[in-house]
Amino acid sequence: MSELHKFLFEGLPVRGMLVRLTDSWQELLARREKANDAFPAPVRTLLGEMAAAGVLMQSNIKFNGALVLQVFGDGPVRLAVVEVQPDLAYRATAKVVGAVDASAQLEAMVNLHGKGRCAITLDPKDKRPGQQPYQGVVPLHGDKREPLQQLSQVLEHYMLQSEQLDTRLVLAADDRIAAGLLIQRLPVEGAGNLGGARNEDRIGLDEAFNRIAHLAATLTREELLTLDADTILRRLFWEEDLRRFEPLAGASGPRFHCSCSRERVAGMLRGLGREEIESILAEQGRVEIGCDFCGIKYHFDPVDSAGLFLPAGSQPPGSSTLN
């Protein structure tokens, strides 16, 4: 079962989270497979790491709205996107326009010419009039502008810029599990903030965080993918005093969920207009729309399509739903 573990280091300004996406991640991949639209293995790995990171980031900020993590690539992967809701329901997809070799590295997939970008968008659930989603964008490299090796480098850089807090992130994914470990320095406030130092003034200077971040960095990809949460935390931090909270799992934990619906697709088709829909019907006999996130295909035959443009309450019964 997919689960999220939160913990604090007693007496230290450091917190942590560990996420393991298992059944929910397998469901997401199975839906793509069923739709005959499976991604190449390196793309699945990228999306898995993004899904784990998205859940960690959403949990970290406690935001009442969707967190959307996007990678805009300049290689064969032009777009990879993960959306995580406040209740940790998530979905993911990618747009691939060229061949991706089975051994392709991250740099070649999304930052081939050095123009790739990563965007994190916070879209409030209940927007005020005129309110726009907040978006932060960073290039696909870390602080040292070295070739992109790991997505975690980019996200650590983003969180350092946006929150002025040191962060260590370890990510890994395969076809069975997407997992991630996040360690972050807590902001120092009140009496503990000697001299009134700003949080950005303490970047890289907290000895406790640096020690714990170093321990976290020793976690290997294989360990993150194969060991359970208890074993990982015990191996890494056996000398630390951890305060662990009840894991979030099941209905309250991370899970796959797609918000697409026939009604939403119908609204999109109305937006295209009657003339465009009739043109598609003349050419194909029906309108078919597939969801990029979950693979469900929505079919609208001529009767369904005609009903899209009738006044509310007078639509004829449709002859098809979805496949």
Token couple for 48: 């898995």
Shared domain for 176 and 47, answered yes or no, is yes
Please tell me the distance from the alpha carbon of residue 200 to that of residue 197, in angstroms, as a whole number: 8
Alpha helices in the chain (DSSP H): 23-34, 41-61, 106-110, 151-163, 207-217, 221-226, 229-237, 262-272, 274-284, 302-307
Token couple for 321: 């739903």
Please tell me the distance from the alpha carbon of residue 28 to that of residue 20, in angstroms, as a whole number: 14
> Do 77 and 39 touch, CB atoms closer than 8 A?
no
Shared domain for 64 and 164, answered yes or no, is yes
14-23, 149-158, 201-210: which is most confident: 14-23
Task: Quickly tell me which residue has 């005129």 as its tokens.
Answer: 130
**Burial class for 38, CB neighbours closer than 10 Å (0-12, 13-18, 19+):** middle
Helix axis angle for 207-217 and 229-237, nearest 10°, is 130
Report the range of poorest mean pLDDT among 141-150, 209-218, 273-282: 141-150
pLDDT at position 191 = 43
pLDDT at 267 over 90: no
Shared domain for 239 and 282, answered yes or no, is no
Token couple for 238: 């056996």
Residue 125: domain span: 3-256
Shared domain for 86 and 34, answered yes or no, is yes
Shared domain for 297 and 221, answered yes or no, is no
What is the tally of structural domains in the chain? 2
Task: Quickly tell me which residue has 């009903």 as its tokens.
Answer: 307
SS3 (DSSP) at 37: coil
**CATH number reported for the structural domain that contains residue 301 in this entry:** 3.90.1280.10
The mean of the pLDDT values for the chain is: 86
pLDDT at 299 over 50: yes
> Do 256 and 89 touch, CB atoms closer than 8 A?
yes
Q: pLDDT tens across 108-132, in order?
A: 899 888 889 999 999 888 777 767 7
Please tell me the distance from the alpha carbon of residue 290 to that of residue 210, in angstroms, as a whole number: 47
Q: Which one-letter amino acid corresponds to residue 103?
A: S
Instruction: For residues 5-25, give the mean pLDDT.
Output: 95
**CATH number reported for the structural domain that contains residue 140 in this entry:** 3.55.30.10
Shared domain for 190 and 283, answered yes or no, is no
Please tell me the distance from the alpha carbon of residue 20 to that of residue 262, in angstroms, as a whole number: 31
Q: pLDDT tens across 201-260, in order?
A: 555 567 889 999 999 999 999 999 999 999 999 999 999 999 999 999 988 899 999 888
pLDDT at position 146 = 64
How far is Cα of residue 189 from the mean position of the Cα atoms in its chain? 30
**Is residue 315 one of the residues assigned to a domain?**
no
Phi-psi region of 6 (alpha: psi -120 to 50; beta: other; left: phi over 0): beta
pTM (2 decimals)? Answer: 0.85
Shared domain for 268 and 247, answered yes or no, is no
